[in-house]
Amino acid sequence: MKKEQIEGRRARRFTLNMRLALLLFVTAIPLTAMMLGILNMIREYSESYNEIIDNLKVANEFNIKFKEDMEYSMYRVMIGLIDASKFEDGDILEGSTKYATVVKNPIHMIESARYSFGTAIDRVPGSDSDIKIKGILSCLDALETAVDRMIDNSSVPGTYTESETIWENDIKGLCSMIQDYITQYTYYELINMEKLQKQLEEQMQQSVRIFIVLLVAVLAAGFGLSTMITKTVTTPINSLRQTAERFGMGDLEVRAGMYALEEINVLARTFNTMSDKISELMERTKREQKNLREAELRLLQEQINPHFLYNTLDSIVWLAEGGNKQQVVEMTADLSVFFRTVLSGGNDYITVKEEESHIRSYLKIQKIRYENILDYVIRIDPEIEEQVILKMTLQPIVENALYHGIKNKRGGGRITIRGYGEGERIVFEVEDNGIGMDAEDLEELKKKLRGEESRLDSRNGGFGLNNVAQRIRMYYGEQSEITITSRKEEGTCVRICLGRSVSGD
């Protein structure tokens, strides 16, 4: 089992880049080696060809001029028209006009030929060309001896006949032999060139056959390897796609598997991490929805409590017995409007106008009950009346202002409710001139609104505020804000900011 895990980890480290590099290695290197081999063969042929051409250039140069120049120079020496001793200074110029003839130095000609054929020309020992060059060099040695004899005789009177014999038998004969050897050497070099060309053709044909076989093998290997690499990419991607589709269809437990390709594993691990976070978020959302519904239920229970309903109905009975029919009708109608808004057909959102009607009904009922100790003012900007907000946003705060601010103040007080637009938000303010709070109680209430531990409980006040804060925080998120300002014996102001872009779905 451990061995399989180790091999699996090694396989997972074999990335896509490494596979592509292997594919490049399998295809490119053999083809490159073959091309380099062909180029090297062509280079060697070119060098051999250039070598033969250079040799032929040297041979042809002497084949054309050597015999003619040598015979002419020695003939002028033989008949005594030039002084052979002047050859020590190089070539001799006959005449002073532009038609003057240059008599070549025979010794320099022999030395130049000996250097060219003996050193400058590249040759293969034992070959036909090498044999001809040796013949040329041997003739040059004999020619040098004959030239020396003629030059020596040119300064001795009565040696013309001997010099003529040397010129006829030795000079002319050796120059002809040298010319024949050069012609034969040229012939063999041309044969070597032809052989070289045939050899190149055979090698090229063989190389082409090998190249075709190698190309087929490389293409087959490359195709097989590329197919394997493609499958290692497409198979896990298809599996990952199917996993994503199943997850999108609601199967939150599905997770992507691991494969031999590291890049796919990175995607799979990222997908699994994302799936875990989505599942966690959905669970959290479910819990928050549950808490929200519980908060709404608590709010409804708090609003529709027997004590409030009993007091209201008792007030209605008391007013009826006193003969105050108009007030009985008004209180009953307001009570009906109040509960109709509380229920609102199960909807979570109502318009600002409906919310105003709700709190107005509530305050009218309380005004009848408490008469002189309660006064209220509602100022809602008509421009926001059709805006949709979370229902029962203001009533719990108004109730909190009444029971914990106005009732405990001697002589009663006033509750002022304002609503207006502020940029992209809607702002409500519920202000009372009740007993207010000191700094310590205000800080405890703010902690409770933030969801932190607080010594305040529902009996100390703040349940309505906390309930509203919890609900708008769940519905509006960061678009909501509740701030409280209060001074002891002066009053309290609760400011609520809500985002306008809220759906009622």
Provide the CA 364 distance to its chain's centre, in angstroms: 68
In the prediction, which pLDDT does 504 show?
44
The whole-angstrom separation of Cα 3 and Cα 349 is 63
In the prediction, which pLDDT does 431 show?
94
Q: Please list the pLDDT of the chain residue by residue as tens digits (505 residues).
A: 344 444 444 444 567 677 777 777 777 777 787 778 778 878 877 777 787 787 877 777 777 788 888 888 888 888 877 877 777 777 777 766 667 778 888 888 888 888 888 887 877 788 888 888 888 888 888 888 888 888 888 778 878 888 888 888 888 888 888 888 888 888 888 888 888 788 878 877 887 788 788 778 877 877 777 777 777 777 777 887 788 788 778 777 777 777 766 767 777 788 788 888 888 888 888 887 777 766 665 665 555 455 566 667 767 776 676 667 777 777 787 777 777 666 555 577 889 998 898 888 888 888 887 777 889 999 999 999 999 988 888 988 988 888 888 888 877 789 999 999 988 889 999 999 989 888 888 888 888 877 776 666 555 555 667 778 877 877 787 778 899 999 998 899 999 999 865 444 4
Check: CB of residue 52 under 8 Å from CB of residue 196.
yes
pTM surpassing 0.85?
no
Provide the CA 232 distance to its chain's centre, in angstroms: 21
In the prediction, which pLDDT does 1 show?
39
Tokens 């380099």 sit on residue = 36
Closest by Cα among 68, 130, 143 to 102? 68
The whole-angstrom separation of Cα 420 and Cα 383 is 8
In the prediction, which pLDDT does 168 show?
85
In the prediction, which pLDDT does 309 show?
67
Cβ contacts of 1 within 8 Å, gap of 6 or more: none
Tokens 């600002």 sit on residue = 352
In the prediction, which pLDDT does 174 show?
87
The whole-angstrom separation of Cα 42 and Cα 52 is 15
Q: Helix 325-343 crosses helix 306-321 at what angle (to 10 degrees)?
A: 160
Homologous superfamily (CATH) for 304-499: Histidine kinase-like ATPase, C-terminal domain (3.30.565.10)
Check: CB of residue 354 under 8 Å from CB of residue 392.
no
How many CB atoms sit inside 10 A of residue 380's CB? 19
**Taking every pair of C-alpha atoms in the chain, what is the biggest distance, in angstroms?**
187
In the prediction, which pLDDT does 468 show?
81
Burial class of residue 277 in the structure, from the number of CB atoms within 10 Å of its CB (0-12 exposed, 13-18 middle, 19+ buried)? exposed
Closest by Cα among 297, 291, 400 to 342? 297
